[in-house]
A and B are shown apart, each in its own frame.
Chain A
Amino acid sequence: MTAEFDPTMSPAAGDAEKAPTPKAKRARGEFLFFALRSKKFVVSVSILLFLILLAIFGPMIDTNDPLALGDLPMRQPTLDPGNWFGTTYFGEDVFAQFVNGLRASFFVGLLGGGLGALIGMMVGFVAGYRGGWIDEVLNMVTNVFLVIPTLAVLLVITSYLQARGVMFEAIFIGATSWPWAARAIRAQTFSLRSRDFIDLAKLSGRSGPKVIVFEIAPNMSSYLFLTYILLFGGAILIAASLDFIGLGPTGGMSLGLMMYNAVTWAALQLGVWWWFIPPGIGIIAAVGSLYVMNVGLDEIFNPKLRDI
């Protein structure tokens, strides 16, 4: 019997493949209804969209090279095009640095958070679903990596790399930030494992990986998405710290690197506030709206938390 004709296929997996049934349509309508009424969700998504658009189109509006030295050092921000955020100690265009840095931040968040979520999901699903000694071993590994401070490991690793790309940074962050996600997903999987529909799927001869992908994952998809959002924001913050210590991508621009340069070249003592204020605002806006979106979505998905 092939999977397509399997009569025991769960409704959740079936709906995704067929055209939207009335039930699915209603669920989607309900989601939109509550999403648009959640102030947290609307505000945070608007801010995020604005930042993403800025990161995509900003470098096209302000075509200045973020690292090109200019002849007007430490210029205060004005309304002149190309000088919206002023210039640095070396006459570099702060706005150009900001939008390019924002791009790098979103890239690291997307990739680093994605990789972290992927590893966390694999470890969490397998540990929670299989149980037994596999669970014991994976749990031990998770606990070990949970305790080691991420930044300390990244410090030692990245300091040995002479040339570092944004890609490398994202991969390293993803590879070290998964443990708490794995733990949370394991706990969720564990509670789903003994439900009837899982037993039914097993009885119908589905293999372990298939049960995980088609039965367990869809039933906690909202939870997985929320985990990804948190990892996304966390990756942006870790990258900023790493860049600020001086271990960021070489030859590129990032928000953390802007702050590193500002501190190294005494922006504080010279009073060049427009050099270090924008990158921080950018990070707070991006990470803060991700966190708020997380709570907003939680309230939309979980009727118990709605206070509308």
Chain B
Amino acid sequence: MRRYFGRKLLTYLMTFFVAATIDWLIPRFMPGDPVAQLVSRSNGISPEQAKALVDYYTRLFGLDKPLPVQYLNFWNSLIHGDLGLSVYGHGTPVTDMIMAAVPYTLALLIPAILLSWWAGNTFGAMAARRKWLDNTALPVGYVLTATPYMWLALVLSFVLAFSFRLFPLSGGYGFNLEPTFTWLFFTDLVAHWVLPFLSLFLVQFGGWAIGMRNMIIYELESDYSRYLEALGAPQGLIRKYAFRNAMLPQITGLALQLGVVVSGSLVTEIVFSYPGVGHLVFAAIQSNDYFLLQGIFMFIIIGVLLANFIVDIVYVVVDPRTRVAMRGGTA
């Protein structure tokens, strides 16, 4: 047990280290000078004033120190949760801004990931080797999984919010409301949540359904299924075994899909102006707010690493073979 998790943990620590180093490297070694860009945004200043500003920013960001010192300083502030100040937020600490946005994103992501995984797997298992269901469900699944998240979001909001006015068009809650613990605010929050959730749910649903369907077909062709069939076992029992075996790759797939889903939620939030992390990314790019962007990058990495670790734990619980292997036995 300790060896398995130790290995996983080492991978994740390495990943975090690499990601943080990328985060530090990029602004320093990319073509183009972020400080010059910052200064060029203050219009109508004389060359001397510009020079003073460049000096000021260079000292402020510690860019005048030798690179190894800069690197150590970077880690020091990272460990203390200091990701710098946001230009877009007029000097608000980046950490605070992200913390305010994260609940909205998680409220979209967690239900969308879990529900689509469950629904897609159930549906895909049902569709496999049932002619008419397979023939209708499969094309729909492929269309859904090839759909860009933002496009589905655009279409949903055009049809359901713009044309039929069933849901609000954008935002996390009504412009006329303040965040409070009232029933009115809560229902409004849910009404704004439905469409972004739906666009995330549907695209992923297609992917899981197809994955499960193909996996079940592989399992139904395998020797143990054939053997059961030859013994005269009922179809339902064979399918049950096939489903349990097909489930394992789908759990691994869940970990692999996390990054894709996170980027999906970023673009979906942009369509709906949903006040989550994606909206923050958009604002940061529009206003060249590099601190904010890099802070979000670190946050996404940490989130994805944590989620991966949870999937690892679930895998151990679900697959008895991993536990046997850990105890030193052979499966």
Contact = CB atoms under 8 A, between A and B. Distances in A.
B146 A291 contact: yes
Interface in A228-277: 233, 237-238, 240-241, 244-247, 256, 259, 262-263, 268-269, 271, 273, 276-277
A221 to B, nearest CB: 21
B169 A268 contact: yes
Given A241-B149, A276-B154, A160 B262 contact: no
Interface residues on A, range: 35 or more
Interface stretch (A92-100, A148-156, A191-199): A148-156
B258 interface: yes
Contacts of A160: 26-27, 30-32, 34, 290
Most A CB contacts (10 A, CB to CB) among B15, B23, B304 go to B15
Interface in B125-170: 139, 142-143, 145-152, 154-155, 157-158, 162, 169
Contact of A295 (B146, B149, B152, B214): B214
Given A155-B281, A159-B285, A241 B300 contact: no
Contact of B270 (A244, A279, A295): A244
Contact of A292 (B142, B217, B281): B142
B9 interface: no
Contacts of A288: 142-143, 145-146
B301 A148 contact: yes
Given A157-B30, A284-B143, A244 B286 contact: no
Interface residues on B, range: 35 or more
A287 interface: yes
Contact of B217 (A238, A247, A305): A305
B165 to A, nearest CB: 12
Contact of A280 (B14, B151, B162): B151
A143 interface: yes
A277 B155 contact: yes
A268 B148 CA distance: 17
Given A150-B263, A246-B282, A162 B148 contact: no
A162 B27 CA distance: 13
A18 interface: no
Contacts of B262: 149, 151-152
A284 B34 CA distance: 37
Interface of B: 11-12, 14-15, 18-19, 22-23, 26-27, 30-32, 34, 139, 142-143, 145-152, 154-155, 157-158, 162, 169, 214, 217, 221, 256, 258-260, 262-264, 266-267, 270-271, 281-282, 285-286, 288, 290, 293-294, 296-297, 300-301, 304-305, 308
Given A140-B14, A156-B293, 7 more contacts: A143-B15, A146-B256, A148-B301, A149-B263, A159-B288, A160-B290, A290-B146
A-B CB proximity, top 7 nearest: A280-B151, A149-B259, A151-B263, A288-B146, A287-B146, A160-B30, A144-B15
